Amino acid sequence: MNQLLRNYLLLLSLVLIWGSSFLLNNRSLTFFTPEQVVTSRLLIGLIVMIPVLFATRRSLPKSLQSWLHFFIFATVGSIIPFSLISYGQLTITSGMAGLLMSLMPLVTLILAHFFLPNDKLNQYKLIGFILGITGVLFILGPSILNSYNTVFGILLVLAAACSYSFNTIITNRLPSYDPLIASTGTFLVGTILCFLIWPQVTSVQFQDIPLIAGSSVIAMGIFQTALAGVIYFYIINNAGATFLSNINYLIPVVAYLLGAFVLAEPILWHDLFALIVIVSGILLSRYRS
């Protein structure tokens, strides 16, 4: 299998994994608190990654600088966005949460202009950004009036999308790491931070955990956190952030459709229109890229 085909297969896998994360998050929150969901994801991800790391005879770095980088990845790329999304999904549907994450590449466009020397804004990127933001505002309108989603929940998820954007830029600027090492180091730091910030997360009555909520958290830890983390760092290292940004065309679509068909969340015409506008903006911003 050539490298290009491998990259595209991994990209498609990441779309399906991250696109379904909002559905699993929704089911997890039927029992667990947002803090417990975030901590469980990182802890399970770490438990999965440690034996893989040793089996492949890799070791975690000893330099303080590397652990500082993992601290940044853990906070900006995991704890902050995971928490914002989980709190946001308490008052918005899973499909809406996935749709709102399409803001991420639009914010990345602006940040890249200032922080990545070879990724400056052009007329297509600027028009695409304006078009995408228009789609986001179109979502906010009905929510302000009255809908299944609250404005506060929407703003929390939009903030999570911005956090992912910052993490993408940071990952590009910092030295590249082996995907398995970067993922394990990030999950280790993230898990420790979660237990320090939220010591109450351990107060769980395991015998009371419903099957769906428990299996959803485990699945997120294994697939949406551990496996997705490895794929994310692999694509960044081998194909770059611009190639990775292609996932943003499809993740909102996957999330919205899964919410509609699995959770029977309503399909609203203004949401579909906004999705078309946002994705069109992302496509336009990638023109000639």
pLDDT mean across residues, the chain? 87
Q: Which of 36-40, 84-88, 185-189, 241-245 has the lowest mean pLDDT?
A: 241-245
pLDDT of amino acid 51: 93
pLDDT of amino acid 146: 59
Whole-angstrom Cα Rg for the chain: 18
Which segments within the chain are labelled E, that is strand? Answer: none
Tens digits of residue pLDDT in 91-123: 999 988 988 888 888 888 888 888 878 778 788
pLDDT exceeds cutoff 80 at 140 = no
What is the secondary structure of 31-57 as a DSSP string? TS-HHHHHHHHHHHHHHHHHHHHHHTT
User: For the whole prediction, is pTM greater than 0.95?
Assistant: no
Angstrom CA distances, 250 to 11, 13, 17, stand at: 10, 11, 11
Angstrom CA distances, 60 to 73, 162, 184, 189, stand at: 15, 29, 8, 12
The arithmetic mean of pLDDT across residues 24-53, rounded, is 95
Q: Which of 22-26, 45-49, 155-159, 234-238 has the lowest mean pLDDT?
A: 234-238
pLDDT of amino acid 258: 92
Q: How far apart are CA 139 and CA 151, in angstroms?
A: 10
pLDDT of amino acid 193: 97
Quickly state the pLDDT bin for 1 (edges 50, 70, 90).
Answer: low
Quickly state the pLDDT bin for 262 (edges 50, 70, 90).
Answer: very high
Tens digits of residue pLDDT in 39-95: 999 999 999 999 999 999 999 999 999 999 999 999 999 999 999 999 999 999 998
Q: How far apart are CA 122 and CA 113, in angstroms?
A: 9
Question: What is the number of residues in the chain?
Answer: 289
pLDDT exceeds cutoff 70 at 174 = yes
pLDDT of amino acid 62: 92
pLDDT exceeds cutoff 70 at 272 = yes
The arithmetic mean of pLDDT across residues 151-157, rounded, is 92
pLDDT of amino acid 152: 92
Q: How far apart are CA 76 and CA 141, in angstroms?
A: 29
Torsion-angle region of residue 2: left (phi > 0), alpha (psi -120 to 50) or beta? beta
pLDDT of amino acid 77: 94
The arithmetic mean of pLDDT across residues 8-30, rounded, is 92
